[in-house]
Chains A and B, each alone.
Chain A
């Protein structure tokens, strides 16, 4: 073949850069090998964790370990192949980080199952194992991941449906609040839709849909937010009439708080809007305005709602009302204290003390107990790496929509981790979010896998070398040409 190196050859990162005169660029390594290596490493770690749990529980190594291990390996092998096929230039760190977090989460959930089964052994309501259910959710999430990878060939197409996504997201967010409590209420917060055995949290998906909407909206309406207003304390305040979208976001998050009694999602939603607005405009004034709105809303909520008050009291002094509201937080602090620097070792802690939230909201406390400060810091580092790679892809990608969406998705992950870990360690009041990829919970896993698929897609677009112009086919002079049907160019 003459001329530029064939398009297919560029994907395989085989050695020699093309030396043709017209193709000066050296081939960019796709780095899929690195991804495979790190995925293998993650698999070793997860298997090791599993063996340690079994050993510390003084159990015979059972056949179950093989099944879990194989299921884990198979799902990430499929994900890796999908990335090779559909996003060959994607970031090599995102998928291994997700694999490790998810695998560790599965091991810890399994470990909590063991403890709870023992605890409930005598009672008449035996503990329903969460690990097989979680594994099934991961499988479904993987299918969604593949679907998102396959359908979203270019993240920019998403911006065309921004308003549709926004509407659907808003409905999904509001739906549990509007439904009767019998369908939507679990543990006091109305964020569920329960249909028979299935229960999902539409808010998790709404988060992503609304982020797509905001990215699209901010790209098209960016000028609206940058027009100058009055100067105050060295920063330019936005004009009063431009405050509309921020006020709308604030109203929605307050609505979530009031109707669904969901502190976590309300905080998450408002934080994401603020940060995306800040990233789109680079104006600190929006953050100041947003934070003052947030403080106002928080004070209002504290004075109006008993459940907010009890959360705040439990945060300020968990041991004051140990028997009622502060019990779980106090137990989580005990867990961290028991863990100390090095932890008790996997399988040697007492996660059953954290009641039945141990495998969802308090899973980081279980990790803090069994892996200690060193282990939990490692897990937090992996979250940070994941978000950092997302942010880097957002910086590198060429289009503003991709930048905003990528940065928003990465920030959502970090904020969620901050809210969860901050709540469990009593840095901030406990709000009840799930730790992404770690916690048991179908909706969270599914939504986060879609989020990762979008991040991979954006990072693929960021690193993919620009496509070379195709050689124009030789055409007959227009006067001699026959009439032919041509396809409209995409």
Chain B
């Protein structure tokens, strides 16, 4: 085989190998953005989903503003969010005033609703005690024991 071809194929194979790694990294990147709720377009990997109308003020993440877990952010992907001390909760509280299964945030249509799951010390949405499912406006504090949670875009 001519020397030039040998050199080219050698370099070409290495380039392909790293291209594979780069593609894999792109998949990981799209995963990271998917988890944080920001839409990213990876060409060739996903069929494009219909875009949502812009300017809709739907909450994208849940932020813990006070309490032991302050600073924790959970992105909202449409699945309900369980809050409590149980191991399998989405937000696992280590709070003496929280119950095992304390409250649940769930999406109905375009709004998030908060319901209390029969907790001992109650759940408060902006000072009102939650008895029936209540719609959670953006930025309204949800109090569970010593923990305060907000929904943000």
Q: Mark A373-384, 1 if CB is under 8 A from B, else 0.
A: 011001101100
In angstroms, Cα B22 to Cα A41, docked, is 12
Chain A facing B: main interface SS: helix
Q: Are A15 and B1 in contact, with the CB atoms below 8 A?
A: no
Q: Does B106 contact A (CB under 8 A)?
A: yes
A25 and B88 contact, CB distance less than 8 A: no
Give, as a whole number of angstroms, the nearest-CB distance from B48 to chain A.
9
Q: Which among A28, A33, A48 is the interface contact of B16 at CB below 8 angstroms?
A: A48
Q: Is B23's beta carbon under 8 Å from chain A?
A: yes
A172 to B7, CA, bound (A): 48
A41-B23 contact in complex given A342-B11, A378-B17, C-beta closer than 8 Å: yes
Q: Specify which chain B residues have a CB less than 8 angstroms from the CB of A389 in the assembled complex.
A: 28
A48 to chain B, nearest CB (A): 6
Partner pick for B108 among A24, A33, A55, CB 8 A cutoff: A24
Evaluate contact between B14 and A381: CB separation under 8 angstroms. no
Interface size class of B (residues with CB under 8 A): 35 or more
Question: Within the complex, which residue of B9, B16, B27, B78 is in contact with A34, where a contact is CB–CB below 8 Å?
Answer: B27
Does any Cβ of A come within 8 Å of B126's Cβ? no
Among residues of B, the one whose C-beta sits closest to the C-beta of A344 is B10
Which residues from B are CB-within-8-Å of A55? 1, 9
Question: Contact string, B1-17, partner A, CB cutoff 8 A, digits 1/0?
Answer: 10000110111111011
Q: Given that A378-B21, A385-B24 are known contacts, is A372 also in contact with B14, CB under 8 Å in the complex?
A: yes
A343 at the interface (CB under 8 A from B): yes
Contact of B20 with A38 in the complex, beta carbons under 8 Å: yes
Residue of A with least CB distance to B14: A374
Interface check B44, CB cutoff 8 A: yes
Given A37-B44, A93-B28, A465-B79, residue A400 in contact with residue B87 (CB < 8 A): yes
Q: Cβ of B1: which chain A residues have Cβ within 8 Å of it?
A: 55-56, 58
A92 close to B9 (CB less than 8 A): no
Contact across chains for B20 and A398 when beta carbons are under 8 A apart: no
Given A100-B20, A382-B21, A466-B79, A25-B107 contact (CB < 8 Å) = yes
In contact, B45 and A33 (Cβ under 8 angstroms)? yes
Q: Hey, which chain A residues are within 8 Å of B106, CB to CB?
A: 24
Q: Which residues does chain A contribute within 8 Å of B25, judged by CB atoms?
A: 385
Nearest-CB distance from B119 to chain A (Å)?
21
Question: Does any Cβ of B come within 8 Å of A346's Cβ?
Answer: yes
Interface residues on A, range: 35 or more
Q: B127: CB under 8 A from chain A?
A: no
User: Given A25-B79, A37-B44: A342 and B14 within 8 A (CB)?
Assistant: yes
B96 contacts partner chain A, Cβ-Cβ < 8 Å: no
- CB atoms of A56 and B6 under 8 A apart: yes
Contacts of A465 in B (CB 8 A): 79
A49 within 8 A of B: yes
Encode A35-71 as 1/0 by CB contact (under 8 A) with B.
Answer: 0011001101100110010011010000000000000
Report if A432 contacts B (CB, 8 A).
no
Q: Which residue of A lies closest to B112 (CB)?
A: A24
Q: How far is A25 from B112 in the complex, measured between Cα atoms in Å?
A: 12
* A343 to B: closest C-beta gap in Å: 7
CA distance A38 to B108 in the complex (A): 37
What's the least CB distance linking A383 to chain B, in Å? Answer: 11
Q: Which of A17, A21, A26, A34 contacts B45 (CB 8 A)?
A: A34
| A29-B46, A33-B45 as given contacts; A49 in contact with B13, CB under 8 Å | yes
Contact status B14-A375, CB under 8 Å: yes
CB <8 Å contact, B77 and A44: no
> Are the C-beta atoms of A378 and B14 separated by less than 8 Å?
yes
The answer to whether A41 and B79 touch across the interface, beta carbons within 8 angstroms, is no
Chain B interface residues (CB < 8 Å from chain A): 1, 6-7, 9-14, 16-21, 23-25, 27-28, 44-47, 49-50, 77-79, 87-88, 106-109
Given contacts A52-B13, A92-B27, A374-B17, 15 further A-B contacts (CB under 8 A): A21-B109, A24-B78, A24-B109, A25-B79, A29-B46, A33-B46, A34-B46, A37-B45, A44-B16, A96-B20, A342-B14, A343-B14, A371-B14, A378-B14, A465-B79
What are 21 A-to-B residue pairs whose CB atoms are below 8 Å? A15-B49, A16-B50, A24-B107, A38-B24, A41-B20, A41-B23, A42-B20, A45-B17, A52-B13, A96-B24, A342-B14, A345-B6, A346-B13, A374-B18, A375-B13, A378-B20, A379-B17, A385-B21, A389-B28, A399-B87, A400-B87
Listed from nearest, the 10 A-B pairs whose CB atoms lie closest are A24-B107, A25-B78, A345-B10, A378-B17, A381-B21, A374-B14, A26-B78, A398-B88, A385-B24, A25-B79
